Amino acid sequence: MINFNSDDYFLNIKKLRLTKSIFGLNAYLKRLFKGIVLDGKTVLDVGAGAGIYSCYMAMNGAKKVVSLEPEIEGSRNNYISNFEEFKRGLNLNNIFLEPAAFQSFENKGEKFDLILLHYSVNHLDENACVNLRKSDEAREIYRKIFEKLYLVSNNQAQIIIADCSDKNFFSWLKMKNPLAPAIEWHKHQAHEEWIKILKKTGFREFKVKWVALKQLGGIGDFFLGNKVCSFFINSHFIIYARK
């Protein structure tokens, strides 16, 4: 097992400016991975971004982390360059970045013990996501994507999907959320919609957590980390399921 050096991890996070709040991120990571055994596991991180979660898992005992980040050419996010710099700064050799979308990913027979989709499930096919409730074709697109997730996972594998629900007070008012102004509500779906498709593809043992604003840390989650309060904040949910 790799010993997690939080000082090195957060020093590199700060250096690359990957979060607005180290305090909030630390609390969120503990909540996100609470009860998740990473030691010796093979992990697939779908939509890995700059590697915040991939590197955390790689430093917390994961045997191997495969990170998919299909950064669009010309993007200003610099995800891939930041990912590579983050990985070098932590001297990790058990993490592998592939600049590919999940649909085009070839696992070559390799299967995973844990699959993470952190704020990426709606980007797998944005058009289908927008039309998920009203289109059989859209639901079929996501059924096939989730079926592939099922096929590339080991028996008893866990899947974690973190995103925000479009069932939000500000979405209902058809206005920007002042606490999360960048969220395009119509491009997201409620956790119930994802669970329906996960069930159809064979996943089971569902658990849902609600997360308050990260900058509020664990105290915020204690008081506001529930479905009702989340409706008036950012509707951030985490789905846990098992194959």
Residue holding tokens 């299967």? 111
pLDDT in tens, 199-213: 999 999 999 999 877
Q: Is residue 91 part of a domain?
A: yes
Q: Tell me the one-letter amino acid at 175.
A: M
Identify which of 176, 171, 168, 187 has the alpha carbon closest to the alpha carbon of residue 127: 187
Q: Is residue 228 part of a domain?
A: yes
Residue holding tokens 């099922």? 150
Q: Is residue 176 part of a domain?
A: yes
**DSSP code of residue 187:** G
Q: Is residue 178 part of a domain?
A: yes
pLDDT in tens, 3-17: 567 889 999 999 999
Q: Which sign, positive or negative, has the C-alpha torsion 102, 36, 111, 4?
A: positive
Is the pLDDT score of 69 beyond 80?
yes
CATH number assigned to the domain comprising residue 192? 3.40.50.150
Hey, what are 173's tokens? 């008012």
Please give the tally of structural domains in the chain: 1
Please give the angle made by the CA atoms of 25, 75 and 77, to the nearest 5 degrees. Answer: 15
Question: Phi, psi at residue 153, to the nearest 5°?
Answer: -105, 145
Residue 219 pLDDT level (bands cut at 50, 70, 90): low
pLDDT of residue 228: 84
For the chain, the residue count is 243
Identify which of 15, 16, 20, 118 has the alpha carbon closest to the alpha carbon of residue 65: 118
Alpha helices in the chain (DSSP H): 6-15, 22-32, 52-59, 79-90, 126-130, 136-151, 169-172, 191-200, 217-224, 227-231
Q: Which uninterrupted H or E stretch holds 170?
A: helix 169-172
pLDDT of residue 176: 82
Q: Is residue 1 part of a domain?
A: no
Identify which of 139, 138, 137, 155 has the alpha carbon closest to the alpha carbon of residue 204: 155
pLDDT of residue 105: 95
**DSSP code of residue 71:** P
Residue 75 pLDDT level (bands cut at 50, 70, 90): very low
- Expressed as residue numbers, the domain containing 63 is 6-242
